[in-house]
Structure 1
Amino acid sequence: MSHGLDHIVHAVRDLDAAADLYRRLGFSVGARNVHPWGTHNRIVQFDRFFIELLTVGEPEKIPSHGDGALSFGALQRDYLAAREGLSMLLLASDDAAADLRRFAAAGIAGGDLFSFGREGRRPDGSVVKLQFSLAFARDPLSPQAGFASCQHHYPENFWNPAFQVHANGARAATAVVMVADNPTDHHVFLEAFIGTRDLRSSSIGVTAQAGRGDIEIVEPVSLRDQYGITVAPEGEGARFVGLRIAADDLDVVERLLRDHEVSAARHVGRLVVPDVCGATLIFEQGTV
């Protein structure tokens, strides 16, 4: 059972340039972290959700995919070989091993449990221990989208209110937006991934309520109508295109973006920022 959205991976080719763009968007961005398998990241944190800006920093260290098992580093490397953008969604978990067993029973498991740790730093510079376990899932119809659940073994060392204050007033991610020619084709996978049948289907798509934040899959025409986004066809299945973010005041966000020369447009009561290193950020009024 999902405990909500935990984080989304935003794969970028130039990590520092992406961090600078996110700062211009009004976000607080963390320092560079280095993974032993060759990827580097920087974090934009909210209360119990974060955006992981990630790049391949040391390609020679990236492990290959195993027999029926996913390599996190190889997945991001292969994604970046074709494009930048939102590459993987991870749900919050208090037992990744149990999630993996559930995924396996549903036929969507993506390999063995992936556990790792690293050091983190608090705002005062003190070092703390961080450790995570990931259970990968595969939507066989969506080769361009990665899925997993994420267990934080020392959550008290990771989540920090000091990192969650943003100049744009952003408070939370309300939904991850995906696009697919036939959203209902992914209904069964979403049910198995989230562990609930609480999905809503309509003429414009499918929405899965993850407990804290939604996963929304819409048709291209609905993506255009709801968010003003037009995407070119790119392979099969569903793929991530945007992240909806609740902010205190859209007028404040709009002024900040204008001052920082970031293009944005109002659309159906939202403020849409296209082409943020291949992703679309969608600000909407309200706190969560």
Structure 2
Amino acid sequence: MALKNVIGIDHAVVMVQDLDKAAENYRQLGFTLSPRGTHSAHMGTGNYTIMFDPDYMELLGVLVATEHNAPARAFLERQGEGIERIAFTAIDSAAGAAEIRARGFTPVGPTDFERPVTLPDGTVSAAKFRTFMWPTAEAPGGVRIFACQHKTRETVWIPELMRHANAARRISQVLIATPEPAAEAAHLARLIDREPKAETDGASTVTSGGDRADFVYLTLEQLGKRYPGVPLTGLSGRGGAALVLVSGDLAATEKALSAAGIRSGAAVVVPPARANGTLLAFIAG
């Protein structure tokens, strides 16, 4: 039975070495970025968000080493930049944590935190969240998962930040590389009470809930066959590999991406080496 207080994918976290350089890179790819956010001293991190509807991307960087961000630093040392974790939307984080505890998983949290937000009119407000994580060891395909309850959606989903020159509208799929797609998909399915589905190319898909993006587990070879002609340099054999983004206008996407974009079948693709360790595949929708 599916979790009641945790619905589909909320956002994808792309871990980067140099936060401001990564932000400028994504601006060059036609994304509109939020002003830089700074988390608490305990967290020691900062971020930029790239807002879609109903989901978003987060560029996350370590500003000061702390005990809290040790797993993120270990990820950067082990794999370099790329998709480090995926968040689900929590309707109620406390109730969601209780749900996974009842299924035998010890949650980390819930934890309340906030970060200051500069609004388009120049005023400063706060984005407030309550999150919990599945146990750190429970990371199917090497990607950690957590749930995020937004207590101030109006300071996160700001209309001016949701319009992108590259016409990106939402996340359609999160692609995770692994030598064992079926086993990793079954692992995630157990964590979120979903059923994996085998694809014809050997990949395995797990829906995240509602109208949100799907998880797709596949080998690097299978990923290469999905996007022929796109170099996969920098991707790990096990870990977050790609985001499939729905574009409202692929011609605008190609124009915004310029030389960074590669036509591959029906998609326009940015190789991982051009997007901080994350392959970005834009599709019509």
Which TM class, normalised by the smaller chain length?
0.7 to 0.9
- One-letter code aligned to 1:205: A
Structure-1 residue corresponding to 2:145: 147
Following TM superposition, by how much is the alpha carbon of 1:234 offset from its aligned partner in structure 2, in angstroms?
4.5
CA drift at 1:282: 0.7
Q: Does 1:191 align with 2:189?
A: yes
Deviation at 1:142, TM superposition (A): 4.2
Map of 2:213 onto structure 1 = 213
Alignment correspondent of 1:177: 175
Question: Secondary structure at the residue paired with 2:142?
Answer: coil
- The count of aligned residue pairs is 270
Relative to structure 1, the CA distance from residue 124 to residue 135 in structure 2 (aligned partners, 3 Å threshold; closer, same or farther) is same
* Residue number in structure 2 paired with 1:46: 52
Instruction: Give, in whole Å, the separation in 1 of the partners of 2:73 and 2:151.
Output: 26
Cα pair 2:46 2:63 within 8 Å, conserved: yes
Render the CA deviation track for 1:123-151: whole Å, top value 9, x for unaligned: 11222232111121246464732110111
CA distance in 2, matches of 1:170, 1:136: 28
Q: TM-score, structure 2 length as denominator?
A: 0.87
Aligned to 2:11: 7
Q: Quick check: 184-193 or 123-132, which moved more?
A: 184-193
2:279 maps to a residue whose letter is: T
Question: Deviations 1:65-104 (Å, cap 9, x if unpaired)?
Answer: xxxxxx4x22211112231111010011111122222222
Secondary structure of the corresponding residue to residue 189 of structure 1: helix
2:129 alignment partner, SS class? strand
**Any gaps of 5 or more consecutive residues in structure 2?**
none
Moved over 6 A (4+): none
- Relative to 1, partners in 2 of residues 1:121 and 1:233: Cα closer, same or farther, differing over 3 Å? closer
Give the structure 1 partner of residue 225 of structure 2: 225
CA RMSD for the aligned pairs?
Answer: 2.1
The answer for the alignment partner of 1:79 in structure 2 is 75
Instruction: Classify the secondary structure of the residue corresponding to 1:4.
Output: strand
Structure 1 segment 1-288 matched on structure 2, within 5 A: 1=3, 2-36=6-40, 37-59=43-65, 62-63=66-67, 71=68, 73-82=69-78, 83-138=80-135, 140=138, 142=140, 144-197=142-195, 199-203=196-200, 204-210=202-208, 211=210, 212-228=212-228, 230=232, 234=236, 238-258=238-258, 261-262=259-260, 264-274=261-271, 275=273, 276-286=275-285
Residue 134 of structure 1 contacts residue 149 of structure 1 at CA under 8 Å; is this kept in 2? yes
Q: Quick one: distance in 2 between partners of 1:86 and 1:281?
A: 11
**In structure 1, distance between residues paired with 2:169 and 2:235:** 32
TM-score (norm 1): 0.86
The one-letter code matched in structure 1 to 2:15 is: A
Distance across 2 between alignment mates of 1:137 and 1:232 = 27
Per the alignment, do residues 79 and 246 of structure 1 end up closer, same or farther by CA in structure 2, a change over 3 Å counting?
A: same
Give the Cα–Cα distance (whole angstroms) in 2 for the partners of residues 47 and 5 of structure 1.
Answer: 11
